[in-house]
Amino acid sequence: MEPLCLDVETNMSLTHSEPDLPVSQDFGEFMLSRLSQSKRPDHKHLSAVIEELSKTLAEGNHSQTPVAYFAATCSSLDSILSADGEPPLDVVQPHVVILSLVFPKVSAGVLKRNGLALRLVLSVLRLRSATPECLVSALKCLVHLLTTVESMSGSEVSESYSILLNFVTHSDGKVRKLASSCLRDVLVKASGTKAWQSLSGTIAELFQKYLDLAHKSEARSAEGAQQVLYILSALKECLALMSKKHIATVIDGFKILLITRDAFIARPVIDSLNALCLNPASEVPVEALVEVLYHAAVLFSAPETSADAMTSTARLLKVGMMRAFNLNRDICVVKLPGVFNGLKDIIASEHEEAIFAATDALKSLINSCIDESLIRESINGIRNSNLEARKSSPTVIEKLCVTVESLLDYKYHAVWDMAFQVVSTMFDKLGEDASYFMRKTLEDLSDMKDLPDEDFPYTKQLHECVGSALGAMGPETFLNIVRLNLEASDLSEVNVWLFPILKQYTVGGRLSFFTEYISRMIETMSQKAQQLKLQGLTSASRSVDSLVYSLWAMLPSFCNYPVDTAESFADLGRILCGALQSQAETRGIICASLNILIQQNKEVVEGKEMPVSDASPAMVRASARYNSDIATANLKVLRSCAPKLLDVLSRIFHESGKDDGGSLQSAIGNLASIAEKKTVSKLLFKTLRELLEATKTAIAQDESSASGMDVDNTADKNSSSNLRARLFDLLVSLLPGLDGQEVDTVFSSLKPAMQDPKGQIQKKAYKVLSVILKSSDGFVSKHLEELLELMHNICHVSAKRHKLDCLYFLLAHASKTDDLKARKDIVSSFLPEVILALKEVNKKTRSRAYDVLVQIGHAYADEENGGDNEKLHGYFNLVVGCLAGEKPQMISAAVKGVARLTYEFSDLIASAYNLLPSTFLLLQRRNKEITKANLGLLKVLVAKSPVEGLHANLKSMVEGLLKWPEGTKNLFKAKVRLLLEMLIKKCGTEAVKSVMPEEHMKLLTNIRKVKERKEKKYAAASEMSRSQHSKETSSKVSRWNDTKIFSDFDDEDEDSDGDYMDGETHGRSKASSLLKSKPSALRSKKSQRQSHLEVNESDDEPLDLMDRYKTRSALRSSELRNKRKADSDEEAEFDEEGRLIIQEGGRGKRKEISDPDSDAKSSKGSRFSANTSKKNQKRMKTSESGYAYTGKEYASKKASGDLKRKDKLEPYAYWPLDRKMMSRRPDQRAVAVRGMSSVVKLTKRLEGKSSAEALAATKFQKFKRSGQKKSAGKKKSK
């Protein structure tokens, strides 16, 4: 009956949330219709009972409602159960099933009336011969009564609970499961009442009863153990819902069960405790819980424990101790060291899942159960006691740190990657106080660096762990424990491995420490380097100089949220000014440090919050110390030092003429933004005066060059042009500190420079103007007429990118004006220039033109600033209007602009479809430039359009693509094929086939066959091949790439183009490959070591040379193998001063080293120079011989012939073979054969000579004969 009940309940929707049920009309008719097709006996019995009840209701003129059937069923069942003898089950069971179906539709008052329903249900549950299906239906009725009917008598409730609990240990699994579920529902309903207390006590007593039964009687121990397992299964759902007192009783029984260490018993116990700890509403007895967790940590961390038990125990310890700590900190802290020891032992196991669970548990407990008060208590205990005569026991923190430190023992070497995570977490938690507890741990970590690489694959994790210690303790304490050892006489003893860690992880340090300690080391090492240089030890001097640079490279890290900026920066500033003037190599580092200091303090003052998602704990702690007052005080000190720094930096920038990476400019700009106004103004007017003088000098030089005198040498850094360019760059840096009037002064100085004939000057002037327009909001409206006049001037090609920036601000300003005529005039004047820039050769200029086009579109569509969709379409129509241009360059540029806007704005796709007729007409032109642009537009439409839009225009697109002039048909065949493949992928093969012209059906068939062949090949490939294919062909995030979209379509990456545009992925996801970390893979037997670039040569299938991916992989793998082989041949040797030792006598490497950046075909003196024809190249290639071993080492210096050498083979040499032997031409093969046959004839003539002499003699004779032939030829010609 159970399947029937479930089926009926599901389809009839007998729930409280569905009031309109079909059974409200005629329950009997509905049930009979459902059961009419069934041939099962129990279904037939149910149908018979329903028919009988329906007949009874019809005779009494009762309605066929659930309430009527409830009454009739109860009456019938009562008469059956009241009869003498055992009632027939085939009659009782259908009645109980009907009751379970109609109970939910009967009100609580009707169910409670006379107590008949409860009495009948309990009577059925008492039947010994009841089947499991009958009991399931009766239990459903019982739980409905207990959770719905209120104010039942105490005796009825008690009796119901007793009967319900009996079924928790029933022999049938379905009955037990339903009884447990019913018990859970009853506990939820009765929570907080006396009945709840009574039921909780009854459950605890039943558990204790069967537990005692399992221990006392050996004869019945198996039965008692089975009952205990049944009770434990029910407790998984019910324990968290019981009262606190009785939960403690059950937990005490759990401790007895855990001692058995039986996996079948431990798992339900752990699951019950997990449910208890994870339920936030449960009443947890902390003492009992902590005690049982401690026992679990001790018992289930032994090596013989199963992996499942270890894993579940580790997870239980995590959630249990965290819950106990939140409820009662003092009780939890006492047992915390024992729990840590248990988790440590689990980490030492060989079970991967248990190791991960224990590591996660330790990290979580460190972060959750170690608070500031616990740390303070331990520190006070250490400070107040004499460490030498200390007799008190270690504090809790000390015990925990000892446990964490023990993870670095060699016993745990296989899981050191996990141990480093735990140690890092402890360092991060203790912070600066880690120096009290983990000094020895840091020393052990520093000793690990000496382990050989082949035995220690966790170098990266070690450095991260040491970096956590550095971030926690601070650089000063850290370097007191782990010293750099710069004073060592032997440079190899210097701990250079610490420099990258100090540079990356230092945060929140003291500037005074850098000033007092690091700068003193820099001075000492600089003097040492100078002394070594004077002694002639150049290599050693350079090594010391590199150490000096590494010390300077730590400065930006010390400037990362320092704690004493206001107190110590003045002293540091004086050191920095001196270093800037005397040490040019440190300027970039110093500028970066100043930028960090200024920007961080400005962000704090402005109220910007640092993103903490990716920040380290040390960074979070350091930034938390900063507030608005501290940052304001820091900026005040920086402002006081700004005049001197600005003077030094501007002078260096003016004189050096070199600013790698723009570090000087950025530092000047940041200093100008915080400096006093008079300081920046003074520097500004000084710069403008120098610019005026340089301009006058340039004009005089231009006049001199016009009269035939010497011209300005632009290669000279002190030339007037370069000087003016540097001054314009300096103006850009000063702009953040200028007010509106001073910006107007700068703008006035730009006007003549924007019309200067030199492209370098124009470029700098437009750059300054673009920065002004970007930083000053009202500048455009204030100087609109002047800007429009300036922008109409033709600029140099090198200045076009910066002019585009200026045009963007003008056009964006026009988009916000309400004057339609003014807007149209401005846009129509400058938009063609932006569109033509899409055809620029310079990639940066071209990319900037695309960006400007899109940004203007966003300005028109921005509703917050007055834009809307209508303005966007108007802007799109202006771009489309450029198609009316006469020159192909303008037409193709306009098509590219349309494609870019369509790609960016989906609202414009429908408007772009209206251009399809024009697009197909343009495709008929015999112009490659226009055709490429239009095919790119079609590609964008196919990629970005919804499938419905493609179906509507599919016929016209396919027909337009296949209509080609004869002269251009073969030029874009690959592109047309790609577009058809994209259409097939989005619309389906049948849709494309229905509109494909008959004469082109072969192309469609070929596309289909190629696709099927690829799918078949990848389906039969190995798992690794599929993974590689997935990685190779998975598309990236969809983004614009004009080079791909408007390419010549005969490039090698054509196949990936469609995938790039479609944004679809092929193959399997890479998520599965991320499930195991690298260290975990090392622990799992290191089975897969083959690189993803290598080809599986053991595969039975031959290499498919038509498969581009496999061909590339084969070539790359062979290159890697050859490279590894060449690298492993000889190892370089160095002397004590670091100089390279070159051994003589051995076979040297080839002198010709290929430069990947050079063009071998065009280089001067190259064998394949541009003057050499392909025919000559081929002839030279086939006639050259390969490397020949000449046997020189066997030659004798005193006599002719070869000598036998000790521990070597007998003398031998390789005769160099001729490549002509492989030629397909008979005459060349004949020449090669004759040369080979002459070797035998020379044997007697060369007898007694060494192999090297013999080879030299034959080469000389060949050369002599060839010379004779040439001289004879010349004589004949004469």
In a shared domain, residues 901 and 968: no
CA–CA dist 997, 1131 (Å, integer): 67
Determine which of 398-402, 861-865, 1092-1096 has the lowest per-residue pLDDT on average.
Answer: 1092-1096
Which residues have C-beta within 8 Å of that of residue 904, sequence separation ≥ 6? 854, 857, 1040
By the 8 A CB rule, do 901 and 857 touch? yes
Domain final residue, candidates 772, 787, 815? 772
At 1049, the pLDDT band (50, 70, 90 cuts) reads very low
Percent of the chain with pLDDT over 90: 24
Residue 747 lies in a domain: yes
Give the relative orientation of helices 498-505 and 538-552 as an angle to the nearest 10 degrees. Answer: 20
Residue 443 domain-assigned?
A: no
User: What is d(CA 933, CA 939) in angstroms, rounded to the nearest whole number?
Assistant: 10
Q: Within a domain: residue 1219?
A: no
Nearest alpha carbon to residue 960 among 1000, 900, 906, 1002? 1000
Q: How far is the CA of 981 from the CAs of 108, 940, 957, 1036, in angstroms?
A: 67, 14, 13, 19
Hey, how many other C-beta atoms are within 10 angstroms of the C-beta on 1015? 11
Rounded Cα distance between 107 and 110, Å, is: 5
- Give dist(CA 613, CA 1237) in Å, integer: 78
Crossing angle between the packed helical segments 820-836 and 843-861, to the nearest 10 degrees: 160
How wide is the angle at C-alpha 256 spanned by C-alphas 254 and 257, nearest 5°?
65
Please name which of 691, 683, 695 lies closest in space to residue 733, comparing C-alpha atoms: 683
Mark whether 517 and 643 lie in a shared domain.
yes
pLDDT at 1099: 42
Residue 946 within any structural domain of the chain: yes
Last residue of a domain, one of 628, 648, 668: 648
Paired with 1141 in beta bridges are: 1133
pLDDT tens digit sequence for 220-272: 456 667 888 888 888 888 998 999 999 999 999 888 888 877 778 888 889 99
SS3 1205: coil
Say whether both 534 and 603 belong to one domain: yes
**Same-domain pairing of 1010 and 960:** yes
Query: How many domains does the chain fold into?
Result: 5
| DSSP bridge partners of 1195 | 1202
- Co-location of 330 and 269 in the same domain: yes
In a domain, 1078, yes or no: no
Residue 388 vs residue 504, higher pLDDT:
504
Distances in Å between the Cα of 561 and the Cα atoms of 602, 615, 635, 640, 1208 are 12, 13, 13, 19, 67
CA distance 642 to 1115: 58
- Residue 597's pLDDT band, with cuts at 50, 70 and 90, is very high
807 with 857, same domain: the answer is yes
869 with 750, same domain: the answer is no
Q: Which of 211-215, 557-561, 830-834 has the lowest mean pLDDT?
A: 211-215
Looking at per-residue confidence, does 852 or 386 come out higher? Answer: 852
Rounded to an integer, what distance in angstroms lies between the CA atom of residue 1202 and that of residue 1212? Answer: 9
Does residue 139 lie within any of the structural domains?
Answer: no
- Pair 520, 552 in one domain: yes
Q: How far is CA 380 from the centre of its chain?
A: 44
Query: Which ranges of 300-385 does DSSP label H, i.e. alpha helix?
Result: 307-327, 329-347, 352-369, 372-383
The distance in angstroms from the start CA to the end CA of the chain is: 119
Alpha-carbon gap, residue 284 to 324, rounded angstroms = 8
Q: Same structural domain for residues 901 and 960?
A: no
Distance CA 955, CA 996 (A): 8
pLDDT band at 4; cut points 50, 70, 90: very low
| 767 and 800 together in one domain | no
Residue 492 lies in a domain: no
- To the nearest 10°, the Cα dihedral for 228, 234, 235, 240? -170
Go through 351-360 and write b for each residue having 16 or more CB atoms within 10 A of its CB, e for each that does not.
beebbbbbbb
Specify whether 752 is located in the same domain as 859. Answer: no
Mean pLDDT of the chain: 78
Q: Which of 1016, 1047, 1073 is the last residue before a domain boundary?
A: 1016
Mean pLDDT of 322-344: 92
Q: What token pair was written down for 959?
A: 């027909």
Whether 1058 shows a pLDDT value over 70: the answer reads no
pLDDT computed for residue 564 by the predictor: 93
Tell me which residue of 460, 471, 477 sits closest to 503, measured CA to CA. 471
Least confident range of 142-151, 672-681, 1013-1022: 1013-1022
- Asked if residues 98 and 49 have their Cβ atoms less than 8 Å apart, the reply is yes
Would you tell me how many other CB atoms lie within 10 Å of the CB of residue 687? 21
pLDDT tens string 1002-1039: 888 888 888 888 888 777 654 444 444 443 433 344 56
- Strongest mean pLDDT among 178-182, 208-212, 497-501: 497-501
Q: 104 CB contacts (<8 Å, ≥6 apart)?
A: 14, 15, 16, 144
* pLDDT tens-digit series, residues 47-87: 888 888 888 888 877 777 888 888 888 888 888 888 777 77
Pick from 493, 403, 412: nearest CA to 458 = 412
840 touches 800 (CB < 8 A): yes
Return the SS3 of 149. Answer: coil
* Closest C-alpha to 554, from 478, 609, 487, 620: 478
Q: Which domain holds residue 719?
A: 683-703+715-772
Report the C-alpha gap between 645 and 578 in whole angstroms: 10
State whether 278 and 347 are in the same domain. Answer: yes
pLDDT band at 491; cut points 50, 70, 90:
confident
User: Residue 950 falls within a domain, yes or no?
Assistant: yes
User: What number is the average pLDDT over the span 711-726?
Assistant: 69
Exposure of 400 in the CB half-sphere (CA atoms within 13 A): 28
Q: Is the entire prediction scored with pTM above 0.95?
A: no
**Higher per-residue pLDDT: 1136 or 828:** 828
Is 90 exceeded by the pLDDT of residue 462?
yes
